[in-house]
């Protein structure tokens, strides 16, 4: 019985909270509908920062109306930031041209296209993380680490090739050496194997490090269509 009462109390509290959130959204929207964009922006901002809304559709609409308010108030960079928040949640989101001024729809669509193109470019760049010689580090802006890996991997690869070629030129027949060259050939083979595993080890480290340090989506989303 006590458990049932507790559940009922929790349900009532949740319902009251949801009603309060919905009332806050409706109040902000009323300001927006009346054309009081400055006050509407304050109301929507208070619902989003910190986020108090729970319904996904209301959250997206709040970002939309706040972005529109900022655009109308000639705060285009702030408008872009709100529209960007929408597209991070739903990349296919669109503004209704029947209820949104054409210039704002155009602004939103231009941002959407720019973000889409940038995302495609970043996905292509991600595969550079799997190229050896510090390529991933260079694209991540870690030049010192990139030069270090370039030097180590380049030296290891060159050593591997040179020792292999030198050892092969010493053969009298496949994998056969003269008595005087056996010791030298074995040393060259050891050096070749060491160089090979150094190349493989640093290569694997470079890939893991590049992928780990590849900028996150939010950090990479640095493009802007707003000129200030």
- Tens digits of pLDDT across the chain (228 residues): 433 232 333 333 333 334 445 788 999 999 999 999 999 999 999 999 999 999 999 999 999 999 999 999 999 999 999 999 999 999 999 999 999 999 999 999 999 999 888 877 777 778 888 999 999 999 888 999 999 999 999 999 999 999 999 998 888 888 888 888 889 989 999 999 999 999 999 999 999 999 898 876 544 444 454 543
Given this structure, which CATH class describes domain 2-93? mainly alpha
Contact by Cβ (8 Å): 45, 32 = no
Per-domain boundaries in the chain: 2-93, 129-219
* 99-153 pLDDT per residue, tens: 999 999 999 999 999 988 887 777 777 888 899 999 999 988 899 999 999 999 9
* Residue 137 β-bridge partners: none
Provide the percentage of residues in the chain whose pLDDT is more than 70.
85
Rg (CA), the chain: 31
- How many Å apart are CA 194 and CA 143, to the nearest integer? 26
Contact by Cβ (8 Å): 178, 172 = yes
């Amino acid at each position: 019985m006590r458990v049932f009462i507790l559940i009922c109390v929790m349900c009532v509290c949740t319902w009251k909270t949801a009603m309060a959130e919905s009332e806050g959204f409706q109040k902000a929207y009323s300001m927006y509908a009346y054309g009081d964009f400055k006050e509407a922006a304050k109301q929507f901002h208070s619902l989003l920062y910190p986020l108090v809304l729970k319904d996904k559709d209301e959250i997206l609409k709040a970002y939309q109306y706040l972005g529109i308010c900022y655009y109308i108030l000639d705060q285009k960079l702030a408008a872009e930031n709100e529209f960007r928040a929408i597209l991070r949640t739903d990349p296919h989101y669109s503004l209704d041209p029947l209820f949104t001024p054409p210039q704002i729809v155009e602004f939103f669509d231009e941002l959407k296209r720019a973000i889409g193109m940038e995302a495609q470019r970043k996905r292509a760049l991600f595969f550079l993380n799997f190229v050896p010689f510090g390529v991933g580090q260079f694209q991540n802006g870690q030049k010192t680490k990139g030069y270090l890996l370039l030097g180590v991997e380049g030296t290891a690869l060159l050593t591997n090739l040179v020792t292999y070629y030198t050892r092969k030129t010493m053969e009298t027949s496949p994998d056969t050496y003269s008595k005087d060259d056996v010791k030298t050939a074995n040393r060259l083979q050891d050096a070749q194997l060491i160089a090979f595993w150094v190349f493989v080890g640093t290569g694997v480290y470079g890939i893991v490090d590049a992928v780990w340090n590849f900028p996150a989506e939010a950090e990479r989303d640095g493009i802007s269509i707003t000129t200030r």
